[in-house]
Amino acid sequence: MARPITLCTAQWADLPLEEICKVAKKMGYEGLELATWGPIDAKKAAEDPSYVKQVKATLAKYGLGCWALAAHVPGQCVADLWDPRLDGFAPAELAGKPEKISKWGTEQMIYAAKAAKNLGVHVVTSFMGSPVWKYFYSFPQTPEEMVDNAYKEVVEKWTPIFDEFDKCDVKFALEVHPSEIAYDYWTFDRLIKEFHGRKTLGANFDPSHLVWQMINPCTFLEDFGDRIYHVHAKDVKCNFNGRNGVLGSHLPFGNVRRGWNFVSLGHGDVDFDGICRVLNQIGYEGPLSVEWEDSGMDRVVGATEACEFIKKFNFDPSTVAFDNAIGTK
């Protein structure tokens, strides 16, 4: 059952598909989680069979598979509360136009579902945005009604998208992540309930966003086992030394004065051994997709090392009880 080891191309979207394939193969990966803002075009993959054929041929040329598409950038635009930062995710002509940005994000997510279908992929990983994340600290006080309305808005905006996902037989895997409507254990639990348990919606499990929030990734896996549609292998290092706070202090990623930083696999605090054991227990057979982020390392050096690291924990469960041979016959 050993799961395929793939590379998420989100941090490599500056390279064309052929170049990413070449580098990924050299680094030891078996496939790619293709980002729809680069290296592939979701709209073209949704509408142009010749383009789909080209993408498949390029992957095959390097012996690489694809088990998921990544659509985090347009997904964030769908239900996020606009501020100028969101303009950088949408086409330039939509800058400062929240409703049009949301509409664009919706269209792109539907393209992503159709692109996945055409490519023979059954999972799209993404964000959803949040109308209420910016008010997570309740001062001035955040009324419960504001939070309730935020969930209702997310359901309203994403239901038509999920309808299209269902038509394409594609699952939506939300990366539980700060700035999303579901950013921790309980907000994800509530989101599932707000969608009345709709099976379209699951998780892109990424432990690096849970550890610094002091959430046990293994507990999350155990409790939401039937909702784990994809897995990101990503590490984080905590450095709470009495000065560094959990909120980041408005310091950029990589600054050692932060309370936590994303680091290359094996350089942080994520228990990948424990995670892979729980993945075996819940029967997860999808990829382990390395989302490589480390401000202190060259990305080719780091992603090559990360690929080798995660392979050490990608073991199958035992088919026999270890103590079967102990005792008299």
- Joined together, the tokens standing for residue 262 give 């994303």
Closest to 161 in 3D by CA, of 219, 212, 214, 201 = 201
Predicted confidence band of residue 289 (pLDDT cuts 50, 70, 90): very high
Q: Above 80 in pLDDT, residue 253? A: yes
Going along the chain from its start, the domains and CATH numbers come out as: 5-234 (3.20.20.150)
Q: Which residue has the tokens 């949408």?
A: 90
| pLDDT at residue 90, rounded to an integer | 97
The pLDDT tens digits of the residues spanning 293-320 come to 999 999 999 999 999 999 999 988 888 8
Report the pLDDT value the prediction gives residue 324, as an integer from 0 to 100: 77
45 has a pLDDT exceeding 60? yes
| pLDDT the model gives residue 327 | 75
Euclidean distance between CA atoms 100 and 96, whole angstroms: 9
Determine the pLDDT at residue 323. 73
φ, ψ of residue 168 to 5 degrees: the values are: -90, 0
* Under 8 Å between Cβ of 161 and 209: no
Q: What is the mean pLDDT of residues 284-288?
A: 97
Global pTM?
A: 0.97
Phi, psi of 144 (to 5 degrees): -60, -35
pLDDT of residue 220: 98
Average pLDDT, the chain: 97
pLDDT of residue 321: 81
CA-wise closest residue to 183 among 151, 158, 152, 160: 151
8-state DSSP, 86: G
Model pLDDT, residue 1? 55
Residues across the chain: 329
pLDDT tens digits, 194-224: 999 999 999 999 999 999 999 999 999 999 9
pLDDT at 186 over 80: yes
d(CA 60, CA 124): 20
What is the spatial distance between Cα 246 and Cα 57, in angstroms, rounded to a whole number? 45
Tokens 């997904």 label which residue? 75
| Mean of pLDDT values over 105-120 | 98
- Spatial separation of the C-alpha atoms in residues 5 and 286, rounded to whole Å: 9
Q: What is the mean pLDDT of residues 107-114?
A: 98
Helix (H, G, I), strand (E, B) or coil at 31: strand
Q: Are 164 and 108 in contact (CB under 8 A)?
A: no
